[in-house]
Chain A
Amino acid sequence: MATANPTVFLVMVNGQVESAQFPEFDDLYCKYCFVYGQDWAPTSGLEEGISQITSKSADVQHNLVWNFPIDITFKSTNPFGWPQIVISVYGPDVFGNDVVRGYGAVHVPFTPGRHKRTIPMFVPESTSKLQKLTSWFMGRRPEYTDPKLIAQGEGREVTRVRSQGFVTLLLNVVTKDMKKLGYDTSTLDMQTSSVIDMSEGILK
């Protein structure tokens, strides 16, 4: 039902966590969750999910494929606090313990259409060599207490991380009533499908 004067706009996101590239690790699973500001609320769909465990394929490319579906709709009054999707990847270490292999976050794309995003995954690093050795032994690596911290900018100044992999997401975005509320997200009047690839750093 179209209202004459809408007060909220909707953003619908669907897609998948497609695959990952982690040259040094295998048998990985991922979790996703959404982090958003106070003016946003999910109206339908799942905010979190855990994927299956995947192993590297035997061919040359060594792909880690999840093909894990994402489907969620948000409503909001304000673009501030635009939702971000936070991906955490876990896998077994030498002793069989489940350790974190990477965290990454990206904003849900802002313009309607089809988007491909390859995001870097990083892991917090201990500063002292002794702590690195004990954490390797005990299987308790440094991790974030709440993965939603990845989506925030504040409080990151003193953390040291190591980036060690990439995850590829394919997302489709549909928005409703943003134009009616006066928001311009794109200069094009015609909505053409856009595929943006952010994988500049991988093959250097």
Chain B
Amino acid sequence: MAEVHVIGQIVGATGFSEDSLFCKWGIHTGGAWKLLSGVREGQTQVDTPQLGSMAYWSHPIDLHFATKGLQGWPRLHLQVWSQDSFGRCQLSGYGFSHVPSSPGIHSLHCVTWRPLGGWREQLARAFVGGGPQLLHSDVVYTGADRYRLHTAAGGTVHLELAVILRNFSRYGVEC
């Protein structure tokens, strides 16, 4: 069986209009993949940057997959939320990125988007906070039913991931 190690960090985020940010992340794989070690999802700490505008999380990711096929290559999906001084959380962006398929160290910059409501919801979000969220978060990493959404851009999440492959050349797979 071929094995894939995904090791790295969710470094931080830039370009969001809010300050105190945290990120919920998860990995989605197809049916041929099995997670041998590591946690498949998590949530980072809340960071308020003092220098510059980039929020830094340095959240470690360490996953070990075994796979029987190439379909369903792992996808990393993210939700960035902001927390205000009262402790209320507001959605700032959804994003996803495929885990790179070639071995080595990769710098990923994952763009994010957030759903826009009508003009009433946008006005309410500007004054009170809140705003529309997705009911089923799998829309973030699949294409089905996206045509119903009207979204605006959020900031960018920066990740540094290393991919280590094992036994892929034995099966004739070129990466």
Q: Interface on A for B, CB 8 Å cutoff?
A: 23-24, 37, 78-82, 84, 104-107, 109-111, 119-120, 122, 125, 127, 150-154, 156-157, 159-165, 181-188, 194, 196, 198, 200-204
Q: How far is the CB of A2 from chain B (nearest CB, A)?
A: 20
Asked if residues B45 and A156 are in contact (CB atoms below 8 Å), the reply is yes
Contact of B58 among A104, A110, A194 (CB under 8 A): A104
Closest to B8 in A: A107
B99 within 8 A of A: no
CB distance from B65 to the nearest CB of A (A): 10
The chain A residue with its CB closest to the CB of B87 is A127
Interface of chain A, main secondary structure: loop
B64 contact from A78, A122, A152, A159, Cβ within 8 A: A78
Among residues of B, the one whose C-beta sits closest to the C-beta of A21 is B51
B60 contacts the other chain (CB 8 A):
yes
A163 contacts B51, C-beta separation under 8 Å = yes
Interface size class of B (residues with CB under 8 A): 35 or more
Q: Is the CB of B64 within 8 A of A184?
A: no
The CB with the most chain B CB atoms within 10 A, among A37, A78, A79, A150, is that of: A79
Contact of A80 among B38, B45, B59 (CB under 8 A): B38
Interface centre among B14, B45, B105 (most CB of A within 10 A): B45
A110 to B51 CA separation, bound complex (whole angstroms): 29
Once bound together, how far apart are the Cα atoms of A125 and B20, in whole Å?
A: 12
The residue in chain A whose Cβ has the minimal distance to the Cβ of B102 is A187
B61 contacts A by Cβ under 8 Å: yes
Of the residues A156, A184, A186, contact of B44 by C-beta under 8 Å: A156
| Contacts A160-B48, A161-B45 known; 19 new A-B pairs at CB < 8 A | A79-B164, A80-B5, A80-B38, A82-B62, A107-B162, A111-B105, A111-B162, A122-B56, A122-B58, A151-B60, A154-B39, A157-B42, A163-B48, A163-B50, A163-B51, A165-B51, A182-B167, A184-B166, A185-B164
* A154–B50 touching, CB < 8 Å: no
Query: Given A107-B8, A107-B9, A161-B46, does the pair A153, B59 have CB atoms closer than 8 Å?
Result: yes
Q: Is A202 in contact with B104, judged by CB distance below 8 angstroms? A: no
Q: Which residues of A contact B116 (CB under 8 A)?
A: none
Pairs across A and B, CB under 8 Å, 22 listed: A82-B7, A110-B104, A111-B105, A111-B162, A119-B58, A120-B12, A120-B58, A152-B60, A153-B39, A153-B42, A153-B59, A154-B42, A156-B42, A160-B20, A161-B46, A162-B49, A164-B51, A165-B51, A184-B175, A194-B105, A201-B52, A204-B54
